[in-house]
Amino acid sequence: MRVFFNREKSLKKINQLPKIILAALALTAVHDPAFAYIGPGAGFAFLGSFFVFFVIFFLAAALFLTWPIRLLWRKVTGKKPYHGQGKVDRVIIVGLDGLCPERCEKMMDEGQLPNFDALRKKGVFKPLATTTPPISPVAWSSFQTGSNPARHNIFDFLTPDRRTYLPLLSSAHIGDPRKTLNIGKYKIPLTKPELRLLRKSKPFWTILGENMIFSTVLRVPITFPPEEFYGLSLSAMCVPDLRGTQGTFTYFTDDPDATSIYAGGVVAKVNNKGDMIEAILEGPANTMVEGADIMTTPLKITPNGDSANIVIGDESVDLKVGESTDWITVAFNAGIGIKVNGLVRLNLRSLRDPFGLYVSPINIDPDAPALPVSHPTYYSSYLAKKLGPYATLGLAEDTWALNERVLDEAGFLEQCWRHHGEREKMLVDAIDHTRYGTVVCVFDTTDRIQHMFMRYTDPNHPANVGKDTEVHKNAIEDLYKRCDEMIGRIASKTGERDILIVMSDHGFRSFRRGVNLNSWLYKNGYLALKDGKESSGEWFEGVDWKKTKAYSLGLAGIFINKTGREVNGIVEPADAEGLSREIASKIVGIKDDKTGEIAIIDSYVARDVYSGPYVDNAPDIIPGYAEGYRASWDGVTGYVNDVIFDDNTKSWSGDHCIDPSLVPGSFFCNRNIEGDNIRMIDIAPTILGLFDIPTPAYMDGVKINMDMPGKDDTDE
């Protein structure tokens, strides 16, 4: 049976239905492989079961029978869906994480970025002031809420658990179902897993939705778990993999010298029989079984010259050395007829002496998600059915696999561009099906490639020692050119009454030397180790908290060990601010003993730069690192010794977690604007203003005035 659907109108109506009906439709859409929402002009929706037909028929009947009530409600409230009644039809925002304004300007002036240059000439190109600190989760949270971090509660990727001093994910809490039914060895969940978004304040698309303005929000960081609003969303940063981590790859090898674990991944030994190699891929813990055994799926690799046939689960693929697969579905059996699906990509590193096979982190399958990754839940399935499988992991580009040399540069670039292509297809689909309202999509490729390939632009980078720097010396320039081509394709889809904004959250600099603030605190008497210790393990193992006044965790800064906040705090709240200012003043100007360069050029006390209800969750001191410096890898993970400065020899050679004045973002718009000082927090109130919605009191940003398109009086 064939049924025509206008996707935008249908989804708007569905969002207004009672939750029980919506849940039934969502359940069907996720689990019925023949179901898909198809937009105008795209064809048909094929309904593969009587139940789906029944639900759709019921929905249609409900909509028909309740139209007088809905019409009356609109009359009483004065609310009706936005159809271009205001200044604009659509606002399209393309986020290119980490797009650097200095590089953009240089390449535009050289004629290498014609589409960015066309935007500059038609409207405006300016630096965009980032947040303090200039870290992606912080900046994109300020972008969506128009507020400073003390109002949205995101200060870093990680935040310390004040009860243990161990790290917690700053943006989301994921817990087990609160109620289960025990049947023998099985624990049947009676409630959903506990999912809670820790970002506070409303994003601008929620406010638009309250005014009946539809939004499609694709892969904007800090949107997991997805929130309900009048529109569609696909979550991004902090979406876990199927194992519940932020991305754990697996490297299969028979190398006897291979370490047992890598940063960001695990090593799995194989049984190499010569003509056949066997291995086991570990998946998530089976929480439905007492003891939560790890679920697994087998691999069989049959070498054949310079290639191999690989059977993983029910899938079979032939792969040459150095090649990567498309997405492969892997199913893990949880028992009693329940399977949990994930997606992986494989890269065959070598066949012998030693054997090596990279398996990507196991992404949540968007067509049958183990956790909700979209709003409504079935939107992820719609995208998968229409556009094909895609990455769902929040940090999908596997930077740690390249750091650990489990992937090489070519394999990493291929992975990045595949993910980028998936994202562009989603954006085009959203633009094609959103006639009025907003479309927002953030691309990560610009960030990941600059992180990993900055060393090729910096001859003196420590990571270049003994390596060929010519092969990928143009990787970043090629990145900007490919993004320029995409912007040209997107711009061609905009009309006269559309606003196109292309922006980034920060810029980029080289990261050559690390600064371990915990070691500095230790050597300057603010942090103590237990008697007999000269260094600690990771995450402060060996720290004497009863003698420690301050500590550093994550990328953002230094925390005072405050009584009443930290479990073993020793600094009284009345003394905390004075101590913060003392440490903040002392770290400014510290010199690298190897280079003689100043490593920290400024510092910020939280209460001087933040204002809001969550200021006490912030780092008390935020250092402003100089170009070339950043928190060291050891310092980020709570390691303490007597080494303050060290070389950064990892592939991760570019960064932005430095003084915000050094890494502004980029702002392009196809309309001219007033003023020069544009900030990340000004975007949200500006979008609201374009739809004549006043700025809420909690927003710290201000509306940017821009030239408006003309409007025919007969337009409706």
CATH of 94-154+200-239+394-508+663-709, one of 3.60.15.10, 3.40.190.10, 3.40.720.10, 3.60.110.10: 3.40.720.10
In 3D, which of 667, 552, 557 has the Cα closest to residue 603? 557
Q: How much is the pLDDT for 190? A: 66
Q: How many whole angstroms separate alpha carbon 81 and alpha carbon 483?
A: 33
* pLDDT range class, residue 676, cuts 50, 70, 90: confident
Instruction: Indicate if the pLDDT at residue 419 is higher than 50.
Output: yes
Q: What percent of the chain has a predicted confidence (pLDDT) above 90?
A: 77
CB 54 within 8 A of CB 48: no
The average pLDDT across 585-603 equals 98
- In the chain, count of helices (H) and strands (E)? 19, 38
- Yes or no: say if 180 and 190 are a contact pair by the CB < 8 Å rule: yes
The answer to whether the CB of 98 falls within 8 A of the CB of 505 is: yes
250: Cα within 13 Å, side-chain hemisphere: 22
Q: In the beta sheet, which residues pair with residue 645?
A: 515
pLDDT value at position 219?
98
The answer to whether 169 and 158 have CB atoms below 8 angstroms apart is: yes
Q: Can you tell me the distance from the alpha carbon of 448 to that of 415, in angstroms, rounded to the nearest whole number?
A: 11
Helices 19-31 and 378-387 pack at an angle, to 10 degrees, of 30
| pLDDT 10s digits, 43-61 | 222 333 344 344 445 555 6
The answer, yes or no, to whether residue 42 has pLDDT greater than 80, is: no
pLDDT at residue 675, rounded to an integer: 83
How many other C-beta atoms can be found within 10 angstroms of the C-beta atom of residue 710? Answer: 8
Average pLDDT over residues 564-576: 98
DSSP-derived pairing of the beta strands 628-631 and 509-515: parallel
Query: For 624-638, what is the mean pLDDT?
Result: 97
Among 30-34, 407-411, 560-564, 672-676, the least confident range: 30-34
Angle, CA of 566, 615 and 217, to the nearest 5°: 115
> Model's pTM, two decimal places?
0.89
Q: Are 112 and 106 in contact (CB under 8 A)?
A: no
Contact indicator for 449, 634 with CB cutoff of 8 Å? no
Please say whether the beta carbons of 568 and 551 come within 8 A. Answer: no
Alpha helices in 123-223 (DSSP H): 136-145, 149-152, 204-210
Mean pLDDT of 423-446: 97
pLDDT at 57: 55
Q: Comparing C-alpha atoms, which of 512, 511, 552, 468 is closest to residue 156?
A: 552
pLDDT of 193 above 90: no
pLDDT(76) > 80: no
Domain boundaries of the chain, sorted by first residue = 2-77, 94-154+200-239+394-508+663-709, 248-365, 511-648
Q: What average pLDDT does the structure give for the chain?
A: 88
Helix runs in 153-289, H state only: 204-210
Residues 288, 295: Cα–Cα separation, whole Å? 11
Confidence of residue 640 (pLDDT cuts 50, 70, 90): very high
Collapsing DSSP to helix, strand or coil, 170 comes out as coil
Is the confidence at residue 680, as pLDDT, over 50?
yes
Render pLDDT for 474-525 as a digit per residue (tens, 0 to 9).
999 999 999 999 999 999 999 999 999 999 999 999 999 999 999 999 999 9
Distances (CA, A) of 460 to 146, 314, 589: 39, 49, 23
Q: Residue 9 — very low, low, confident or very high, per pLDDT cuts 50/70/90?
A: very low
Question: What is the pLDDT, as a whole number, of residue 636?
Answer: 96
Position 298 scores a pLDDT of 95
For position 41, what pLDDT does the model report?
Answer: 25
- Kindly tell me if the per-residue pLDDT of 712 is higher than 90: no
pLDDT reported for residue 46: 30
- Residue-wise pLDDT tens digits, 306-317: 899 999 988 999
State pLDDT tens for residues 163-173.
999 999 999 98
Q: Which helix (H) or strand (E) holds 283?
A: strand 277-285
Which of 56-60, 260-264, 691-695 has the lowest average pLDDT? Answer: 56-60
Collapsing DSSP states into helix, strand and coil, what is residue 247? coil
| Cis omega (within 30 of 0) for bond into 160 | no
Which amino acid, residue 323? E
Query: Taking a C-beta distance cutoff of 8 angstroms, is the pair 249, 360 a contact?
Result: yes
Average pLDDT over residues 697-706: 96
Pairwise CA distance, residues 310 & 157, whole Å? 36
Two tokens at 624? 């402003």
From residue 379, alpha-carbon distances to 6, 233, 372, 400 in Å are 14, 8, 10, 30
Which tokens sit at 114?
A: 């014609």
437: exposed, middle or buried (Cβ count in 10 Å: 0-12, 13-18, 19+):
buried
